[in-house]
């Protein structure tokens, strides 16, 4: 049994890999002070895994808490995955391969396993990342833009006269308050960008580009997109499972 962890900036997910089967565990939005109690709640009764493999873009202090907990509980180190130049048939577009986020890297590995077509991976987390992968496994690079929450927080931090909190909107209509203008505007911005991107890139791939969406806000964003995309919530964990089975 192997413990697999997708450790994002605001959300953490985990699963167990047992005899080739991926068994989803749980997920949560976290703050740094909540991590140790969260680990206790999740894993206090879990038998020691053979290994712990993690794709992390979290703050180093957060990852350190995970490593400390696993060492104290199971006397196990946490293997922190890092992107490389080539793995599982995927070739990294970055000149400095290790600087590609490990979550993006394993998502590409999982996407390459899921489809034999050209594929675009949209990860809707704190930041929204888009990565393009040819059918032959060659990574074509991508884009990084602020996610729904980050976009709103950045705006609110720089506008002292607006006294509201970020919120998740289902409405693309014009807002009737500063708060709704900001939340509706964030959703409108993200969906407009992705819709345009999804259309523009199809011609580059002979209209055979398949889109996969993952990340904490993926289902919410997908509901407002005009272009079709497949929702794969555990894409990063699937990629970790591919690497773990090496």
Q: Which residues does the annotation mark as catalytic? A: 103
In this structure, the number of other CB atoms found within 10 A of the CB of residue 173 comes to 9
**Ramachandran assignment for 5, one of left (phi > 0), alpha (psi -120 to 50 degrees), beta (any other):** beta
Tokens of 38: 């969260």
Distance from C-alpha of 190 to C-alpha of 213, rounded to nearest angstrom: 13
Residue 109: enclosing H or E segment and its boundaries? helix 102-114
Could you tell me the CA-to-CA distances from 105 to 4, 18, 32, 90, 226 in Å, in that order?
15, 22, 25, 9, 27
Distance from C-alpha of 219 to C-alpha of 221, rounded to nearest angstrom: 6
Match 């060659």 to its residue by tokens.
Answer: 138
For residue 142, list its beta bridge partners. 131
């Amino acid at each position: 049994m192997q413990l697999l962890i997708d450790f994002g900036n605001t959300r953490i997910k985990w699963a167990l890999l047992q005899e080739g089967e991926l068994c989803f565990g749980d997920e949560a939005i976290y703050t740094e002070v909540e991590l140790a109690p969260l680990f206790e709640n999740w894993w206090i009764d879990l038998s020691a895994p053979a290994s712990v493999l993690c794709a992390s873009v979290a703050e180093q202090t957060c990852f350190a808490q995970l490593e400390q907990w696993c060492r104290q509980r199971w006397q196990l180190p946490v293997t922190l995955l890092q992107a490389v130049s080539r793995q599982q048939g995927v070739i990294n577009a970055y000149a400095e391969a290790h600087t590609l986020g490990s979550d993006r890297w394993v998502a590409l590995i999982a996407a390459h396993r899921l489809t034999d077509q050209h594929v675009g991976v949209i990860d809707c987390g704190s930041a929204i990342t888009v990565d393009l992968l040819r059918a032959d496994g060659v990574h074509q690079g991508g884009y990084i833009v602020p996610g729904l929450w980050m976009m709103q927080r950045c705006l609110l931090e720089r506008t002292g006269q607006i006294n509201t909190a970020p919120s998740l909107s289902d409405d693309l209509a014009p807002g009737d308050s500063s708060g709704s203008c900001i939340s509706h505007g964030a959703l409108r911005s993200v969906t407009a960008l992705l819709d345009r991107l999804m259309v523009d890139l199809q011609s580059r791939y002979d209209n055979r580009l398949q889109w996969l969406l993952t990340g904490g806000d993926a289902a919410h964003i997908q509901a407002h997109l005009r272009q079709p995309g497949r929702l794969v919530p555990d894409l990063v964990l699937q990629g970790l499972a591919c690497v773990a089975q090496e």
